[in-house]
Amino acid sequence: MALAVVVCVAMVLLGLCIGSAGFENTVGTLWGSQSGEVERAMAHQIVWDIRMPRTVGALAAGALLGLAGALAQGLFRNPLADPYLLGSASGASLGVALALASMGGAAGMVGGSMMSDGGGAVSVFSSSIWVRLGLTGAAFGGAVAAVLLTLALARGVQHTLRLLLAGVIVGVVLGAVTSLVLLFSPDSLQAMQAFLLGSTSFIGWPSCFLMTGIWVVCVVAAWALARVLDGLSLGETTAHTLGLPIGPLRAALVAVLALATGTAVAQTGLIAFVGLAAPHLVRAMVKVPHRQLMLLASAMGAVLLGGADLLARWLIAPQELPVGALTAVLGGGYLLWLMHRGSGSHALGGRSA
């Protein structure tokens, strides 16, 4: 944990110096004695209003996804489970697609920033606070609605396998509905692509405070519920013999999972593999019970998404890679490496739902 904290602090400092021109000493301009008033004012705006909230927001979103990944894998007793397994990603995508269609379409990406096309179109990451609030609310509402639909189809949380299958079905169906919405609203495709690929480019301080506050709530709740995950890892029968009220506690875990995932997705779009890979990396380093695992997976998620955000800004500057696509490539490569080295059967398939 101490190592993760040090790495996160280093990422914040490095994030202040990486922009559209690659690495630049903006911090030196901000506090340097040779800088003029105009240069300092511009550097202050770049550092504190753009780069700092983006870097902190990437760490917060990664922490939420890492925590959600550890919860999902413990809840389903399956190391291949990820935060989007209950259909929250498909629900958030449908919510954003419906909101974009109702607002009048998409926005063009010009010079690295989202701009209106002049015909009443809006951006999925618009600088307008009301548009952002509307799209964020639509994404979060869609994620929560999808989880509730999954619970309804599974008839509660009593049967883990039924819950898992219901989540897969809801994800497929809502994904198809999203495609139909975009088919009948082609102007929304470009902005929707930004959401589907994931982006930390337009995170502001309000989003950082929101994600940090939700993370604190979710960590406290997960810490209190960790004992049931330890019990479930031994099997449901054993958990019952330990005197754990499995039904209510599993419902509480699903609520925490949905809250963490929905908040992260609403602010950054769909970020792949962070929630899946973070708990695996922690387990590869230490063997700990779920109470410590969730904290460490959360820290690892912050490191992964923070590092991916820095790479997305720096690799092809002044252009920028979609951070969600970058995490998918890196996460998929990590899992393939696990399989190739011969430990994939143990690391990926050691437990089943």
Domain extent listing, the chain: 60-339
Enter the pTM of the model: 0.84
Compute the chain's Rg from CA coordinates: 21
| Structure tokens given for 272 | 């792949």
| Structure tokens given for 336 | 């393939």
**Between vectors from CA 304 to CA 301 and to CA 305, what angle results, nearest 5°?**
85
Cis before 318? omega within 30:
yes
Rounded to whole angstroms, how far apart are CA atoms 33 and 231? 60
Element (H, E) at 203: none
pLDDT of 188: 79
pLDDT of 47: 82
Residue type, 168: V
From the list 229, 196, 179, the residue with the least C-alpha distance to 76 is: 229
pLDDT of 32: 55
Rounded to whole angstroms, how far apart are CA atoms 285 and 5? 16
Q: Where are the beta strands (DSSP E) in the chain?
A: 18-19, 22-23, 108-110, 113-115
Residues in the chain predicted with pLDDT less than 50, given as ranges, are 105-123, 126-127, 344-347, 349-353
Please tell me whether residue 118 adopts helix, strand or coil conformation.
coil
Rounded to whole angstroms, how far apart are CA atoms 57 and 45? 17
Residues forming beta bridges with residue 192, ordered by sequence position: none
Q: In the CATH scheme, what is the homologous superfamily, with its name and number, of domain 60-339?
A: ABC transporter involved in vitamin B12 uptake, BtuC (1.10.3470.10)
DSSP conformational letter for 46 = I
Rounded to whole angstroms, how far apart are CA atoms 143 and 123? 20
What is the distance of C-alpha 172 from the center of its chain? Answer: 20
Rounded to whole angstroms, how far apart are CA atoms 52 and 14? 10
pLDDT of 62: 95
pLDDT of 180: 92
Please tell me whether residue 35 adopts helix, strand or coil conformation.
coil
From the list 198, 95, 103, the residue with the least C-alpha distance to 143 is: 95
What is the distance of C-alpha 148 from the center of its chain? Answer: 20
Cβ pair 40, 188 in contact under 8 A: no
Please tell me whether residue 293 adopts helix, strand or coil conformation.
helix
pLDDT of 232: 75
What is the distance of C-alpha 166 from the center of its chain? Answer: 22
| Structure tokens given for 124 | 């999925």
Summary count for the chain: helices (H), strands (E) = 15, 4
Query: Phi then psi for 229, rounded to 5 degrees?
Result: -65, -40
pLDDT of 31: 58
- Location of structure tokens 């010079």: 111
Rounded to whole angstroms, how far apart are CA atoms 353 and 351? 7
From the list 216, 192, 212, the residue with the least C-alpha distance to 322 is: 192
